[in-house]
């Protein structure tokens, strides 16, 4: 099923949602589906239409329940409105595990430093 520019920008929300869901369930192509959702976000901005946060459930499923991909890491920032705070933290940890680990370790170290006075420095 091909999605032309004309279809993406003229079909009704109900029709386009149905077709994108069908496309994803037939192909399991998360990258292409994410790109289609970004195109619909562009449509929402250009047309002030009802396409804001379209297919939120499908986007959540792709980002949170499927294997992490380079496309997810590239495009995830466009989907901040699709996730709650806790889901966003889970998504960030999933997509960027090394950065999450470093941030957690840094925070833990800073907490240790601020909670434990530097007694060795005061005595010298």
Q: What is the pLDDT of residue 62?
A: 96
Q: What is the pLDDT of residue 44?
A: 87
| Res. 101 pLDDT band, cuts 50 70 90 | low
Mean pLDDT of 2-24: 91
Q: What is the pLDDT of the chain when averaged over all its residues?
A: 85
> For the CA atoms of 57, 60, 61, 62, what is the dihedral angle to 10 degrees?
120
Q: What is the pLDDT of residue 47?
A: 81
pLDDT, tens only, 17-63: 999 999 999 999 999 999 999 999 998 888 876 777 889 999 999 99
| Res. 2 pLDDT band, cuts 50 70 90 | confident
User: CA-CA distance, 34 to 56, in Å (whole number)?
Assistant: 11
Q: What percent of the chain has pLDDT over 90?
A: 53
Mean pLDDT of 79-100: 88
Instruction: Choose between 34 and 122: higher pLDDT.
Output: 34
Mean pLDDT of 95-119: 68
């Amino acid at each position: 099923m091909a999605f032309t520019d004309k279809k993406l920008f003229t079909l009704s929300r109900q029709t386009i949602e149905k077709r994108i869901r069908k496309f994803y369930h037939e192909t399991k192509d998360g990258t292409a589906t994410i790109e289609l959702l970004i195109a619909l976000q562009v449509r929402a901005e250009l047309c002030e239409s009802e396409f804001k946060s379209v297919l939120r459930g499908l986007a959540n499923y792709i980002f949170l329940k499927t294997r992490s991909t380079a496309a997810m890491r590239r495009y995830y920032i466009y989907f901040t409105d699709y996730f709650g705070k806790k889901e966003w933290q889970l998504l960030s940890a999933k997509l960027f595990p090394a950065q999450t680990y470093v941030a957690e370790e840094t925070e833990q170290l800073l907490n240790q430093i601020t909670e434990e006075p530097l007694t060795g420095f005061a005595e010298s």
